[in-house]
A and B are shown apart, each in its own frame.
Chain A
């Protein structure tokens, strides 16, 4: 049964008040993100001379090359992640596998993301590209988390 409008208005105001509290208090992340942010700023400030050249816009062939590279990266990082998670505990001799994806791997993934985003800007309706971007983002997040966990362990 519908309640009268004034009751709903009152409840909406309560919701808005609580929502405002959410905005102001926020949520603390599980870990301190500052070291990663500082590292990313340093990397960005190294300048274009330290980066590989961007792909030319509109180059369909190169766009698909970027997709393929990103896919390879994802599969590689995913495989390392799975191996690391499932086998580290049982086989200490391969615990160093996580080092197969060193911090520099993050730079490569960032580069792939840049290229994918450029390709997506050219072709925003391309579902395959957007799916790839999402997957590479997840891979990047996993890699960052693994690196952080490794730093904590060490």
Chain B
């Protein structure tokens, strides 16, 4: 029977969260399924959000999320408290995504779309934005820009890590990141204008 009282208090700071992460991970590594379910309940939104951003498909995101937690259960002994458990789970998800979709990640597409003509830069004010506005706009980005933005700005990967992950030059990653931010600023400004006009 799962103890429904969450080990993660809402006011937990980073140190406290890390301690809880380590405690639950240790118990899960010893085969405690309830501890692992607690980890799942706490981090599923983060993992699913990442999977949905990467795949842009609800069904594929569900499968990738499921496989991430199954893999995490098998590999939780290797977590060893290095950083936030959510970040570790994110890495597990990204590795599975890379292995599964590597052949469909068209390097030529990631690079050639860089040469597409950019719309005029009409940056508007993007204050009063919500994360939900940004989520919608990320989904509309071209694949290369979307992946680089997700890995760098959302997940905190370095340029070099992204370059290795996507088999791109570091310079290309930086250019894609610049392009993605520019496109996002434009989309967000247009959405805001449309909302005001409605």
Mark A residues whose CB is within 8 Å of B: 1-3, 7-8, 11-12, 14-16, 18-31, 33-34, 36-38, 40-41, 44, 117, 120, 124-127, 129-131, 133-134, 137-138, 140-142, 144-145
Contacts and interface: CB of A to CB of B under 8 A. Distances in A.
Q: Tell me the dominant secondary structure on chain B's binding face.
A: helix
B184 interface: yes
B49 A22 contact: yes
A120 B103 contact: yes
A141 B100 CA distance: 14
17 contacts: A1-B121, A3-B121, A18-B134, A23-B154, A26-B47, A27-B52, A29-B61, A33-B40, A33-B66, A34-B37, A34-B41, A36-B66, A37-B70, A40-B70, A117-B100, A137-B63, A140-B63
Nearest to B37: A34
A1 B124 CA distance: 11
Contacts of A126: 103
Given A15-B134, A29-B44, A127-B103, A20 B65 contact: no
Interface in B158-185: 181, 184-185
- Nearest 4 pairs of A and B residues by beta carbon: A130-B103, A141-B59, A26-B45, A26-B49
Interface in B56-87: 57-63, 65-67, 69-70, 73-74
Contact of B135 (A12, A27, A29, A142): A27
Interface of B: 33, 37, 40-41, 44-50, 52-53, 57-63, 65-67, 69-70, 73-74, 90, 99-104, 121, 123, 126-127, 129-131, 134-135, 138, 149, 153-156, 181, 184-185
B184 A129 contact: no
A26 B48 contact: yes
